[in-house]
Amino acid sequence: MARSMDDGLVAHVLDMLRDWGGVSARRMFSGYGLFRQGAMFGLIARDTLYLRVDDRNRPEFAAAGSRVFSYRRGGIGRSNSAAIWNARRTCSKTPTR
Task: Report how far residue 21's alpha carbon sits from residue 27's, in angstroms, rounded to the nearest whole number.
Answer: 19
Q: For residue 93, what pLDDT is reported?
A: 47
Second-level CATH architecture of 5-90: 2-Layer Sandwich (3.30)
Question: What ranges do the domains of the chain cover?
Answer: 5-90
The pTM of the full predicted model, rounded to 2 decimals, is: 0.77
Kindly tell me if the per-residue pLDDT of 40 is higher than 90: yes
DSSP the chain: -PPPHHHHHHHHHHHHTGGG--EEEEEETTEEEEEETTEEEEEEETTEEEEE--TTTHHHHHHTT--EEEEESTTSSEEEEEEEEEPPGGGGSPPP-
Q: For residue 80, what pLDDT is reported?
A: 63
Is residue 77 very low, low, confident or very high in pLDDT (cuts 50, 70, 90)?
low
Is residue 75 very low, low, confident or very high in pLDDT (cuts 50, 70, 90)?
low
* Average pLDDT score, the chain: 83
Residues 75, 55 contacting (CB under 8 angstroms): no
